[in-house]
Structure 1
Amino acid sequence: MKKLIFTGLLAVAGLTSSANAQIQEGNWLVGSSLLSSNFGLNTGGGYNIQLTPKAAYFVADNVAVGGYVNLGISKVTNGSPTAFDYGVGGLGRYYLSPGEKGVDNLLNHGRWFFEGNVGIGGRNVENSNSTTGLDFGVGPGYSYFITPNIGLEGLVKYQGQAGFGNEGLNSAITFNVGFSIFLPTSKGREVMNDVKN
């Protein structure tokens, strides 16, 4: 029991480390877009809800590379068919530094970023069109750090799927809200070592 309490305290200490260190080389980003709405660019576009877990490693300061999984379900109206979206692939993020290229932060505890993804995915609509193939997207976002290592995020993204099926290209502009946890690699190793002992 003492080890469990001590491990919990170390994890909390890791979450409250320096605010300037969360997007440095060697750290991890783990998070998810929890709420997404879109305005379809194709006929029949509407609103949807998606869950998109993400994990990335900072290969350099302000640059993270990782992966994502996308699962979503949508209905345009009560009488319309249900649509299921899915995808898995790689993603990259670049965080702008304060003052970079004339870009200033709106708030003192946040950072602008650009996110891009590419992978395999598709969209299946009940008794209707489907697309399976290349899943891709790109767009800007903003992360507001409510603690030094936890950020609330907003992301506007062009998202598309191109490939095989009844519909060659399916695309939309999505508005996503979610969170990310930034974990220093050194703190993660300390917690794992304490759990082993």
Structure 2
Amino acid sequence: MKKPLLALCLLSASFITNAQTDKGNWMVGGSLGSIAGQIAIGEPSYGGFGLSINPAAGYFVKNNLAVGAGIQLTPWIGDEFSFGYGIQPFVRRYFGKGLTKPFAEASAGYSGFISAEDGRPFFLTANVGSGLAYFITPNVALESRLSVSAHSGSDWEYVALMPAITVGFQLHLQSLKRAKPQAAIEGE
């Protein structure tokens, strides 16, 4: 009894997770860390670097085109220690077929940070980048990305540019509506 049940579970999991970038599918993951520097134009000048954790989830509205949102959590080391946070909706476009898929991504949202000296209000953030997703299994991709972010104070008194190199992963999950085993489809 245990063997047939295990086989059924594995078969069901393969139908649910045997997807990549098709319409109706989901992706969940994010960057495990990114190394970024900051170049400030105007005041204040916050030089330094951060190491961030950015969980994200997206939905494929079209083949190779996903929309979603990510959360940014970044301890920042510079003149003083601070902690950045934010939320950014994104659009991501994959190109090509096969195990290796290049992608381009754009996002915009609000961020803020907390520091020992002062807490800044939310500020606007925009990000563009491109990268490469390598599918190590049909549903797990390792990713690397090069991007640049622009941050502006709430009163537009300064702009900070942040180039970043990011490494992460994504789980690509097939929609449950599309994941029906063939026997269930034939029986309908």
- TM bucket normalised to smaller: 0.7 to 0.9
Change (3 A) 1:167 1:88: same
Q: Residue 25 of structure 2 aligns with which residue?
A: 27
Percent identity of the aligned residues?
32
Q: Residue 58 of structure 2 aligns with which residue?
A: 56
TM-score (norm 1): 0.76
**Aligned-residue CA RMSD in angstroms?**
3.0
TM-score (norm 2): 0.79
Q: Residue 184 of structure 1 aligns with which residue?
A: 174
Worse-matched range after superposition: 66-75 or 8-17? 8-17
- Which structure's CA Rg is the greater one? 2
Q: Residue 109 of structure 2 aligns with which residue?
A: 119
Q: Residue 173 of structure 1 aligns with which residue?
A: 163
The 1-side partners of 2:125 and 2:113 are apart by: 10
Q: Residue 123 of structure 2 aligns with which residue?
A: 133
TM alignment of 1:35-184, pairs within 5 A:
35-42=33-40, 43-76=45-78, 80-98=79-97, 109-127=99-117, 130=120, 132-164=122-154, 168-184=158-174
The 1-side partners of 2:21 and 2:142 are apart by: 14
- What is the count of residue pairs matched by the alignment? 176
The 2-side partners of 1:188 and 1:70 are apart by: 31
Higher strand share: 2
Letter in 2 for 1:113: F
Structure 1 gaps of 5+ residues are: 99-107, 191-197
Structure 2 gaps of 5+ residues are: 181-188
> Are the counterparts in 1 of residues 16 and 176 from structure 2 also a CA contact under 8 Å?
no
Q: CA deviation at 1:129?
A: 7.7
The 2-side partners of 1:16 and 1:68 are apart by: 22
